[in-house]
Amino acid sequence: MKNFSTGAAWSLAARGAAAAAFACLAAGQVQAATNCTFRPNAPDQHLVVKGDTLWDISGAFLEHPWCWPQVWGMNRDEIRNPHWIYPGQVIYFDRARGRLTLTRPGAGGAGGQPPLVRLSPQLRTEALGPDGAVPAIPPGAIEPFLTQPLVVEADALAATPRIAAVPEDRVYLADGDRIYVRGALQGATNFQVFRPGKALVDPDTGKVLAHEAAYVGDARLVAAAKPGVDVHSFVVTRSVQEMGVGDRLLPTPPTPLRNYVPHAPDKPVAARVMSIASEATYASQYQVVTVNRGALDGLDVGAVLQLYHAGRTVQDPGAPRGLFGLGGTRLRLPEERYGELFVFRVFGRVSYGLVMQVSTPVQVGDAATSPE
């Protein structure tokens, strides 16, 4: 596997300190967090350049990039409604205060001390554009997952309209072709067309939480069904895969806000990796996975989870054995933390996460939990 980067290991003391520090953050207190340690070789400053991400910049200064809000003194409102950082700005490490700032330490303060000015890092709330603001994570890695319904929750699937018929002379549908749709449109006129795939089953409960879905194109309502007619008339406006009878429609979602400030969830979250978007056996850095927790469980956009492999069970070589050398004691090894997951799209019970630092491959069934 390629593209693995090793995250720093946490001590038990650091895990305990993290919970207390984020309690202060949620209350809006501005103070240095003991668990958010700076790297021993952290630079005095960093010039923001095109191609930087907030995660990369954070990692240059901090042992744990998700600690960014704490070292800027951000509260929860500021995390959800951040501002922007641009190439050309300089981020300074104020060692005396244990903070990052956009003001050079010692500049403008009495007695050579910097003024206490609360500055929040600034993030775009949409894709990179002409103004070139810095994104939190690599935008290209998640772009298709922001607007296309690649995961459809179970309760939404049954209510979706479906393609019931196509013109008789059409085997493959292309842009401009008519399709006939049956089902309630709920007032929408623009839809995405998808093909339901395999069910995503919660590893903990065995319940179907969602279905994987292949995005096949877009369609626009031409004429709603009239009395005596069973279907609505649509026109295909975009086709990226073969589209046909049985495919489902979902209203085109609004452009999502992309306020990606890395932070711990508001409350403890214990999730499991349900699927790997590439349908591979393993996932590496900057690949997308789904987890079995969502907004109803306390996750929001920008939440960071730590990835763990389940503890293995091994034979104790020093334990007494029975007749013919059989039996003996088996040992349960502890879970091993090996990376971090950045949540960037959240549904009710399912979320998308981008794999960040990992030292070993991500597997379906791995634990993804709140930083401790």
Q: Each residue of 132-152: pLDDT tens digit?
A: 777 778 877 787 787 777 788
**Of 247 and 117, which is predicted with more confidence?**
247
Higher pLDDT, 3 or 223: 223
- Mean pLDDT over 315-331 rounds to 65
pLDDT of residue 256: 64
Query: What's residue 352's pLDDT?
Result: 92
Q: What is the pLDDT of residue 171?
A: 72
Q: Give the burial string for 131-144 (b: 16+ CB within 10 Å, else e).
A: eebbbbbebebbee
The span from the CA of 273 to the CA of 366, in Å, is 5
Residue owning tokens 């004429």: 223
Q: Could you tell me if 353 and 289 are in contact, meaning their C-beta atoms sit under 8 angstroms apart?
A: yes
Instruction: Tell me: pLDDT of 83 over 80.
Output: no
Residues in the chain: 372
Parallel, antiparallel or unpaired: strands 208-223 and 232-239: antiparallel
Residue 66 φ/ψ, nearest 5 degrees: -70, -5
Residue 304 near residue 298, CB atoms below 8 Å: no
> Domain 270-369, what architecture?
Beta Barrel (2.40)
Residue 151 and residue 103: Cα distance in Å, rounded? 43
Residue 238 has pLDDT above 90, yes or no: yes
Give the confidence band of 329 by pLDDT, cuts at 50, 70, 90: confident
Residue 348: name the closest of 285, 301, 290, 296 by CA: 296
Are the C-beta atoms of 262 and 136 separated by less than 8 Å?
yes
Instruction: Record the tokens describing residue 78, joined without a space.
Output: 């500021």
pTM to 2 decimal places: 0.70
Question: β-pairing, 282-283 with 362-363?
Answer: antiparallel
CATH 2.40.10.410 region(s) of the chain? 270-369
